[in-house]
Amino acid sequence: MTAAMVGWAHLPFGKHADETVESLIVKAATQAIHDAGIGPEDVDEILLGHFNAGFSAQDFTASLVLQADPALRFTPATRVENACATGSAAVQQGVRAVASGSARFVLVVGVEQMTTTPGREIGQNLLRASYLKEEGDIPGGFAGVFGKIAEEYFQKYGDQSDALARIAAKGHKNGVNNPYAQMRKDLGYEFCRTEGEKNPFVAGPLKRTDCSLVSDGAAALVLTDPATALGMKKAVAFRSMAHVQDFLPMSRRDILKFDGCSRAWGQALGDAGMALDDLSFVETHDCFTIAELIEYEAMGLTKEGEGAKAILEGWTEMDGKLPINPSGGLKAKGHPIGATGVSMHVLTAMQLTGTAGGIQVKDAEIGGIFNMGGAAVANYVSILQAMK
Protein backbone atom coordinates (compact mmCIF):
# COMPACT_ATOMS: atom_id res chain seq x y z
CA MET A 1 0.00 0.00 0.00
CA THR A 2 1.77 3.13 -1.24
CA ALA A 3 -0.79 5.81 -0.37
CA ALA A 4 -4.31 6.28 0.92
CA MET A 5 -7.21 8.64 0.37
CA VAL A 6 -8.27 10.33 3.60
CA GLY A 7 -10.68 12.98 2.35
CA TRP A 8 -12.66 13.75 -0.77
CA ALA A 9 -15.29 15.90 -2.42
CA HIS A 10 -17.53 15.59 -5.48
CA LEU A 11 -19.57 18.39 -7.03
CA PRO A 12 -22.71 17.56 -9.04
CA PHE A 13 -21.91 17.12 -12.74
CA GLY A 14 -24.05 18.91 -15.32
CA LYS A 15 -24.48 22.22 -17.07
CA HIS A 16 -23.17 24.97 -14.79
CA ALA A 17 -23.26 28.21 -16.75
CA ASP A 18 -23.08 30.17 -13.48
CA GLU A 19 -19.75 28.55 -12.57
CA THR A 20 -16.21 28.93 -13.91
CA VAL A 21 -13.23 26.58 -13.94
CA GLU A 22 -11.89 28.59 -11.02
CA SER A 23 -15.07 28.42 -8.93
CA LEU A 24 -15.42 24.67 -9.52
CA ILE A 25 -11.80 24.11 -8.47
CA VAL A 26 -12.15 26.23 -5.34
CA LYS A 27 -15.34 24.51 -4.19
CA ALA A 28 -14.00 20.98 -4.68
CA ALA A 29 -10.60 21.75 -3.11
CA THR A 30 -12.11 23.47 -0.08
CA GLN A 31 -14.54 20.63 0.58
CA ALA A 32 -11.89 17.91 0.21
CA ILE A 33 -9.48 19.59 2.62
CA HIS A 34 -12.27 20.02 5.15
CA ASP A 35 -13.41 16.42 4.68
CA ALA A 36 -9.89 15.17 5.40
CA GLY A 37 -9.82 17.07 8.66
CA ILE A 38 -6.60 18.91 7.86
CA GLY A 39 -5.83 22.57 7.29
CA PRO A 40 -4.76 24.07 3.96
CA GLU A 41 -1.39 24.78 5.54
CA ASP A 42 -0.89 20.99 5.85
CA VAL A 43 -1.00 20.44 2.06
CA ASP A 44 2.51 19.79 0.73
CA GLU A 45 1.73 19.45 -2.97
CA ILE A 46 -1.14 20.11 -5.37
CA LEU A 47 -1.96 18.26 -8.61
CA LEU A 48 -4.65 19.60 -10.92
CA GLY A 49 -6.17 17.43 -13.64
CA HIS A 50 -7.44 19.75 -16.39
CA PHE A 51 -7.63 18.68 -20.04
CA ASN A 52 -8.90 22.00 -21.45
CA ALA A 53 -7.88 21.77 -25.17
CA GLY A 54 -9.73 25.02 -25.79
CA PHE A 55 -12.71 24.64 -23.45
CA SER A 56 -11.44 27.39 -21.15
CA ALA A 57 -9.76 30.62 -22.20
CA GLN A 58 -7.74 30.40 -18.98
CA ASP A 59 -5.19 27.77 -19.97
CA PHE A 60 -2.70 28.15 -17.09
CA THR A 61 -4.76 26.77 -14.24
CA ALA A 62 -2.57 25.00 -11.67
CA SER A 63 -2.36 28.04 -9.40
CA LEU A 64 -6.14 28.49 -9.38
CA VAL A 65 -6.24 25.82 -6.67
CA LEU A 66 -4.43 28.30 -4.40
CA GLN A 67 -7.52 30.52 -4.62
CA ALA A 68 -9.22 28.12 -2.22
CA ASP A 69 -7.31 29.51 0.76
CA PRO A 70 -4.47 32.03 1.32
CA ALA A 71 -2.62 29.35 3.33
CA LEU A 72 -2.07 27.41 0.08
CA ARG A 73 0.16 30.18 -1.26
CA PHE A 74 3.65 28.95 -2.21
CA THR A 75 2.54 25.28 -2.26
CA PRO A 76 3.92 23.47 -5.34
CA ALA A 77 1.10 23.08 -7.85
CA THR A 78 1.25 21.31 -11.21
CA ARG A 79 -1.35 20.77 -13.91
CA VAL A 80 -1.45 17.22 -15.30
CA GLU A 81 -2.99 16.18 -18.64
CA ASN A 82 -3.45 12.84 -20.40
CA ALA A 83 -6.62 13.25 -22.48
CA CYS A 84 -9.71 11.65 -20.93
CA ALA A 85 -7.51 9.94 -18.30
CA THR A 86 -6.27 13.32 -17.04
CA GLY A 87 -7.87 12.88 -13.62
CA SER A 88 -6.25 9.50 -12.99
CA ALA A 89 -2.92 10.82 -14.25
CA ALA A 90 -3.11 13.53 -11.58
CA VAL A 91 -4.04 10.96 -8.93
CA GLN A 92 -1.07 8.79 -9.90
CA GLN A 93 1.33 11.72 -9.64
CA GLY A 94 -0.06 12.38 -6.18
CA VAL A 95 0.38 8.74 -5.15
CA ARG A 96 3.98 8.87 -6.35
CA ALA A 97 4.69 12.05 -4.39
CA VAL A 98 3.42 10.41 -1.21
CA ALA A 99 5.23 7.10 -1.88
CA SER A 100 8.52 8.91 -2.52
CA GLY A 101 8.29 10.69 0.82
CA SER A 102 8.45 14.12 -0.79
CA ALA A 103 4.96 15.00 0.46
CA ARG A 104 2.89 13.96 3.45
CA PHE A 105 -0.44 15.39 2.25
CA VAL A 106 -1.24 15.85 -1.43
CA LEU A 107 -4.36 17.56 -2.76
CA VAL A 108 -5.58 16.31 -6.14
CA VAL A 109 -8.31 18.19 -8.02
CA GLY A 110 -9.93 17.29 -11.34
CA VAL A 111 -11.99 19.82 -13.28
CA GLU A 112 -13.53 20.64 -16.63
CA GLN A 113 -16.09 23.10 -17.92
CA MET A 114 -17.36 22.05 -21.35
CA THR A 115 -20.96 23.16 -21.77
CA THR A 116 -20.22 26.87 -22.24
CA THR A 117 -18.37 26.01 -25.47
CA PRO A 118 -20.35 26.00 -28.76
CA GLY A 119 -21.28 22.51 -29.95
CA ARG A 120 -19.07 22.48 -33.03
CA GLU A 121 -16.05 23.54 -30.99
CA ILE A 122 -16.75 20.84 -28.39
CA GLY A 123 -16.37 18.20 -31.10
CA GLN A 124 -13.16 19.79 -32.39
CA ASN A 125 -11.69 20.00 -28.90
CA LEU A 126 -12.45 16.37 -28.11
CA LEU A 127 -11.07 15.18 -31.43
CA ARG A 128 -7.68 16.46 -30.28
CA ALA A 129 -7.52 13.31 -28.15
CA SER A 130 -7.13 11.30 -31.37
CA TYR A 131 -4.30 11.08 -33.93
CA LEU A 132 -5.29 14.04 -36.08
CA LYS A 133 -2.86 13.16 -38.85
CA GLU A 134 -4.91 10.06 -39.68
CA GLU A 135 -8.14 10.41 -37.72
CA GLY A 136 -8.85 14.14 -37.85
CA ASP A 137 -11.21 13.84 -40.83
CA ILE A 138 -13.39 11.04 -39.42
CA PRO A 139 -17.00 12.32 -39.61
CA GLY A 140 -18.68 12.86 -36.26
CA GLY A 141 -15.65 13.95 -34.28
CA PHE A 142 -14.61 11.72 -31.38
CA ALA A 143 -17.96 9.93 -31.53
CA GLY A 144 -16.97 9.11 -35.10
CA VAL A 145 -13.78 7.46 -33.85
CA PHE A 146 -15.76 5.11 -31.59
CA GLY A 147 -18.44 4.73 -34.26
CA LYS A 148 -15.70 3.36 -36.51
CA ILE A 149 -14.58 0.99 -33.74
CA ALA A 150 -18.19 -0.17 -33.29
CA GLU A 151 -18.58 -0.79 -37.03
CA GLU A 152 -15.44 -2.92 -37.10
CA TYR A 153 -16.54 -4.83 -34.00
CA PHE A 154 -19.96 -5.52 -35.54
CA GLN A 155 -18.34 -6.71 -38.75
CA LYS A 156 -16.11 -9.15 -36.86
CA TYR A 157 -18.45 -10.38 -34.12
CA GLY A 158 -21.95 -9.58 -35.37
CA ASP A 159 -24.54 -6.94 -34.54
CA GLN A 160 -24.17 -5.93 -30.89
CA SER A 161 -27.03 -3.40 -30.77
CA ASP A 162 -28.89 -5.35 -28.07
CA ALA A 163 -25.82 -5.45 -25.82
CA LEU A 164 -25.02 -1.76 -26.31
CA ALA A 165 -28.61 -0.81 -25.46
CA ARG A 166 -28.43 -2.95 -22.31
CA ILE A 167 -25.22 -1.19 -21.28
CA ALA A 168 -26.80 2.22 -21.84
CA ALA A 169 -29.96 1.25 -19.95
CA LYS A 170 -27.90 -0.12 -17.04
CA GLY A 171 -25.96 3.12 -16.77
CA HIS A 172 -29.06 5.28 -16.73
CA LYS A 173 -30.84 3.00 -14.25
CA ASN A 174 -27.88 3.18 -11.85
CA GLY A 175 -27.50 6.94 -12.35
CA VAL A 176 -30.99 7.62 -10.99
CA ASN A 177 -29.67 7.08 -7.46
CA ASN A 178 -26.43 9.05 -7.90
CA PRO A 179 -26.89 12.62 -6.58
CA TYR A 180 -23.81 13.74 -8.54
CA ALA A 181 -25.05 12.44 -11.90
CA GLN A 182 -25.99 14.83 -14.69
CA MET A 183 -28.85 12.65 -15.95
CA ARG A 184 -30.90 10.93 -13.27
CA LYS A 185 -33.51 9.29 -15.48
CA ASP A 186 -34.12 5.60 -16.14
CA LEU A 187 -34.49 5.62 -19.92
CA GLY A 188 -35.18 1.88 -20.16
CA TYR A 189 -33.92 -0.69 -22.62
CA GLU A 190 -36.51 -0.09 -25.35
CA PHE A 191 -35.71 3.61 -25.60
CA CYS A 192 -31.97 2.94 -25.73
CA ARG A 193 -32.45 0.18 -28.32
CA THR A 194 -34.71 2.11 -30.67
CA GLU A 195 -33.53 4.70 -33.14
CA GLY A 196 -35.83 7.72 -33.35
CA GLU A 197 -36.13 11.49 -33.26
CA LYS A 198 -35.08 11.58 -29.59
CA ASN A 199 -32.41 8.91 -30.02
CA PRO A 200 -30.90 9.30 -33.49
CA PHE A 201 -27.81 7.61 -34.85
CA VAL A 202 -24.76 9.76 -34.11
CA ALA A 203 -21.89 7.84 -35.70
CA GLY A 204 -21.97 4.41 -37.31
CA PRO A 205 -24.18 2.11 -35.21
CA LEU A 206 -23.92 4.38 -32.15
CA LYS A 207 -27.04 6.26 -31.13
CA ARG A 208 -27.27 9.25 -28.80
CA THR A 209 -27.84 6.93 -25.85
CA ASP A 210 -24.53 5.22 -26.64
CA CYS A 211 -22.58 8.42 -25.98
CA SER A 212 -21.51 9.99 -22.68
CA LEU A 213 -22.66 13.47 -21.76
CA VAL A 214 -20.86 16.77 -22.30
CA SER A 215 -20.54 18.08 -18.78
CA ASP A 216 -19.11 20.54 -16.26
CA GLY A 217 -17.82 19.40 -12.90
CA ALA A 218 -15.05 18.89 -10.40
CA ALA A 219 -13.93 16.37 -7.80
CA ALA A 220 -11.03 16.39 -5.34
CA LEU A 221 -9.25 14.11 -2.90
CA VAL A 222 -6.50 14.21 -0.28
CA LEU A 223 -3.73 11.60 -0.22
CA THR A 224 -1.30 10.65 2.52
CA ASP A 225 0.93 7.74 3.51
CA PRO A 226 -0.63 4.60 5.01
CA ALA A 227 0.87 5.14 8.45
CA THR A 228 -0.55 8.65 8.71
CA ALA A 229 -3.85 7.45 7.24
CA LEU A 230 -4.36 5.02 10.12
CA GLY A 231 -4.66 8.00 12.45
CA MET A 232 -7.27 9.75 10.27
CA LYS A 233 -11.06 9.39 10.55
CA LYS A 234 -11.23 7.36 7.31
CA ALA A 235 -8.76 5.83 4.91
CA VAL A 236 -8.97 4.04 1.55
CA ALA A 237 -5.68 2.56 0.41
CA PHE A 238 -4.24 2.02 -3.04
CA ARG A 239 -3.44 -1.67 -3.22
CA SER A 240 -1.98 -0.91 -6.65
CA MET A 241 -2.07 1.53 -9.54
CA ALA A 242 -0.94 0.85 -13.10
CA HIS A 243 -0.44 3.07 -16.13
CA VAL A 244 0.08 1.72 -19.65
CA GLN A 245 0.45 4.01 -22.66
CA ASP A 246 -0.21 2.68 -26.17
CA PHE A 247 0.36 4.04 -29.68
CA LEU A 248 -1.80 7.05 -30.53
CA PRO A 249 -2.63 6.05 -34.15
CA MET A 250 -5.33 3.39 -34.31
CA SER A 251 -3.62 2.11 -37.46
CA ARG A 252 -0.70 0.81 -35.38
CA ARG A 253 -2.76 -1.59 -33.27
CA ASP A 254 -5.76 -3.88 -33.26
CA ILE A 255 -8.31 -1.36 -32.04
CA LEU A 256 -10.79 -4.09 -31.08
CA LYS A 257 -8.51 -5.52 -28.40
CA PHE A 258 -7.73 -2.53 -26.13
CA ASP A 259 -4.32 -4.10 -25.42
CA GLY A 260 -3.26 -1.22 -23.17
CA CYS A 261 -6.33 -1.76 -21.02
CA SER A 262 -5.56 -5.48 -20.74
CA ARG A 263 -1.97 -4.82 -19.73
CA ALA A 264 -2.96 -2.20 -17.16
CA TRP A 265 -5.47 -4.56 -15.55
CA GLY A 266 -2.89 -7.37 -15.56
CA GLN A 267 -0.25 -5.20 -13.91
CA ALA A 268 -2.59 -3.73 -11.29
CA LEU A 269 -4.14 -7.05 -10.29
CA GLY A 270 -0.71 -8.71 -10.25
CA ASP A 271 0.79 -6.00 -8.05
CA ALA A 272 -2.18 -6.24 -5.70
CA GLY A 273 -1.89 -10.03 -5.56
CA MET A 274 -5.49 -10.36 -6.71
CA ALA A 275 -7.70 -11.74 -9.45
CA LEU A 276 -10.68 -10.06 -11.10
CA ASP A 277 -12.97 -12.28 -9.01
CA ASP A 278 -11.66 -10.58 -5.86
CA LEU A 279 -13.20 -7.25 -6.84
CA SER A 280 -16.56 -6.19 -5.43
CA PHE A 281 -17.29 -3.79 -8.31
CA VAL A 282 -15.61 -1.79 -11.08
CA GLU A 283 -15.94 1.79 -12.27
CA THR A 284 -14.92 1.67 -15.94
CA HIS A 285 -14.57 4.22 -18.72
CA ASP A 286 -17.84 4.04 -20.69
CA CYS A 287 -17.31 7.15 -22.83
CA PHE A 288 -19.27 5.14 -25.40
CA THR A 289 -21.14 1.89 -24.83
CA ILE A 290 -18.87 0.07 -27.28
CA ALA A 291 -15.94 1.02 -25.05
CA GLU A 292 -17.52 -0.64 -22.01
CA LEU A 293 -18.29 -3.75 -24.07
CA ILE A 294 -14.68 -4.12 -25.22
CA GLU A 295 -13.43 -3.35 -21.70
CA TYR A 296 -15.31 -6.40 -20.40
CA GLU A 297 -13.07 -8.46 -22.65
CA ALA A 298 -9.90 -6.47 -21.94
CA MET A 299 -10.24 -6.85 -18.17
CA GLY A 300 -10.73 -10.59 -18.57
CA LEU A 301 -14.40 -10.79 -17.65
CA THR A 302 -15.14 -12.59 -20.93
CA LYS A 303 -13.22 -13.92 -23.92
CA GLU A 304 -12.59 -11.72 -26.97
CA GLY A 305 -15.75 -11.15 -28.96
CA GLU A 306 -17.97 -12.36 -26.11
CA GLY A 307 -18.38 -9.14 -24.12
CA ALA A 308 -22.11 -9.09 -24.85
CA LYS A 309 -22.51 -12.18 -22.69
CA ALA A 310 -21.59 -10.22 -19.55
CA ILE A 311 -24.33 -7.63 -19.98
CA LEU A 312 -27.01 -9.83 -21.57
CA GLU A 313 -26.70 -12.38 -18.75
CA GLY A 314 -26.75 -9.68 -16.07
CA TRP A 315 -23.21 -10.16 -14.75
CA THR A 316 -22.52 -6.41 -14.65
CA GLU A 317 -25.82 -5.26 -13.13
CA MET A 318 -25.93 -3.96 -9.55
CA ASP A 319 -26.91 -7.44 -8.32
CA GLY A 320 -24.62 -9.29 -10.74
CA LYS A 321 -21.38 -11.11 -10.02
CA LEU A 322 -19.32 -7.99 -10.86
CA PRO A 323 -21.30 -4.74 -10.83
CA ILE A 324 -19.90 -2.34 -13.42
CA ASN A 325 -20.43 1.40 -13.02
CA PRO A 326 -22.80 1.44 -10.04
CA SER A 327 -22.46 5.24 -10.27
CA GLY A 328 -24.15 5.24 -13.67
CA GLY A 329 -20.75 5.69 -15.30
CA LEU A 330 -19.83 8.46 -17.69
CA LYS A 331 -23.02 7.54 -19.53
CA ALA A 332 -25.34 8.97 -16.85
CA LYS A 333 -22.95 10.82 -14.57
CA GLY A 334 -21.40 12.94 -17.32
CA HIS A 335 -17.83 13.20 -18.56
CA PRO A 336 -16.12 16.49 -17.65
CA ILE A 337 -12.78 15.32 -19.03
CA GLY A 338 -10.29 16.42 -16.36
CA ALA A 339 -12.64 15.56 -13.49
CA THR A 340 -13.59 12.04 -14.58
CA GLY A 341 -10.65 10.06 -13.18
CA VAL A 342 -10.77 11.88 -9.84
CA SER A 343 -14.53 11.31 -9.72
CA MET A 344 -14.03 7.58 -10.23
CA HIS A 345 -11.63 7.42 -7.29
CA VAL A 346 -13.89 9.48 -5.02
CA LEU A 347 -16.99 7.41 -5.79
CA THR A 348 -15.03 4.19 -5.29
CA ALA A 349 -13.82 5.47 -1.91
CA MET A 350 -17.43 6.18 -0.97
CA GLN A 351 -18.39 2.62 -1.89
CA LEU A 352 -15.58 1.16 0.21
CA THR A 353 -16.47 3.27 3.25
CA GLY A 354 -20.18 2.43 2.98
CA THR A 355 -21.16 6.03 2.26
CA ALA A 356 -22.34 5.72 -1.36
CA GLY A 357 -26.04 6.05 -0.49
CA GLY A 358 -28.42 4.86 -3.20
CA ILE A 359 -25.64 3.51 -5.41
CA GLN A 360 -24.02 1.48 -2.64
CA VAL A 361 -22.84 -1.99 -3.66
CA LYS A 362 -23.66 -4.48 -0.91
CA ASP A 363 -20.63 -5.58 1.13
CA ALA A 364 -18.18 -3.70 -1.09
CA GLU A 365 -14.62 -4.48 0.03
CA ILE A 366 -12.34 -4.00 -2.98
CA GLY A 367 -12.96 -1.68 -5.92
CA GLY A 368 -11.37 -1.53 -9.35
CA ILE A 369 -11.14 1.54 -11.58
CA PHE A 370 -10.32 1.81 -15.28
CA ASN A 371 -9.92 5.27 -16.79
CA MET A 372 -8.64 5.75 -20.33
CA GLY A 373 -7.52 8.62 -22.52
CA GLY A 374 -8.26 8.56 -26.23
CA ALA A 375 -9.21 5.26 -27.82
CA ALA A 376 -7.43 3.05 -25.24
CA VAL A 377 -4.22 5.08 -25.54
CA ALA A 378 -3.70 6.21 -21.92
CA ASN A 379 -4.78 3.38 -19.64
CA TYR A 380 -4.96 3.64 -15.84
CA VAL A 381 -6.16 0.99 -13.39
CA SER A 382 -6.42 1.43 -9.63
CA ILE A 383 -7.25 -1.22 -7.04
CA LEU A 384 -8.61 0.31 -3.81
CA GLN A 385 -9.44 -1.15 -0.41
CA ALA A 386 -10.61 0.49 2.81
CA MET A 387 -8.06 0.53 5.65
CA LYS A 388 -10.58 1.50 8.32
pLDDT at 213 over 90: yes
Query: What confidence score (pLDDT) does residue 169 get?
Result: 98
Query: What confidence score (pLDDT) does residue 102 get?
Result: 97
The residue extents of the domains of the chain are: 4-117+214-229
What separation in angstroms does the CA of 9 have from each of 217, 222, 329, 386? 11, 9, 17, 17
pLDDT at 119 over 90: no
Provide the pLDDT confidence category of residue 174 given band limits of 50, 70 and 90.
very high
| Per-residue pLDDT reduced to its tens digit, 230-266 | 999 999 999 999 999 999 999 999 999 999 999 999 9
| Per-residue pLDDT reduced to its tens digit, 28-65 | 999 999 999 999 999 999 999 999 999 999 999 999 99
| Per-residue pLDDT reduced to its tens digit, 144-155 | 999 999 999 999
Enumerate the active-site residues. Answer: 84, 335
Alpha helices in the chain (DSSP H): 21-36, 86-100, 119-127, 132-135, 141-157, 161-175, 189-193, 226-229, 259-272, 289-298, 307-312, 329-333, 337-352
What separation in angstroms does the CA of 48 have from each of 60, 217, 229? 11, 13, 22
pLDDT at 1 over 90: no
Mean pLDDT, range 373-382, rounded to an integer: 98
Mean pLDDT, range 79-86, rounded to an integer: 98
CA-to-CA distance for 356 and 348, rounded, in angstroms? 8
pLDDT at 120 over 90: no
Are 338 and 221 in contact, with CB atoms under 8 Å apart? no
Mean pLDDT, range 127-149, rounded to an integer: 92
Mean pLDDT, range 332-337, rounded to an integer: 98
Of 3.40.47.10, 3.30.1490.20, 3.40.50.300, 2.60.40.1170, the CATH number of 4-117+214-229 is 3.40.47.10
CA-to-CA distance for 131 and 139, rounded, in angstroms? 14
pLDDT at 270 over 90: yes
Whole-prediction pTM: 0.98
Provide the pLDDT confidence category of residue 388 given band limits of 50, 70 and 90.
confident
Query: What confidence score (pLDDT) does residue 273 get?
Result: 98
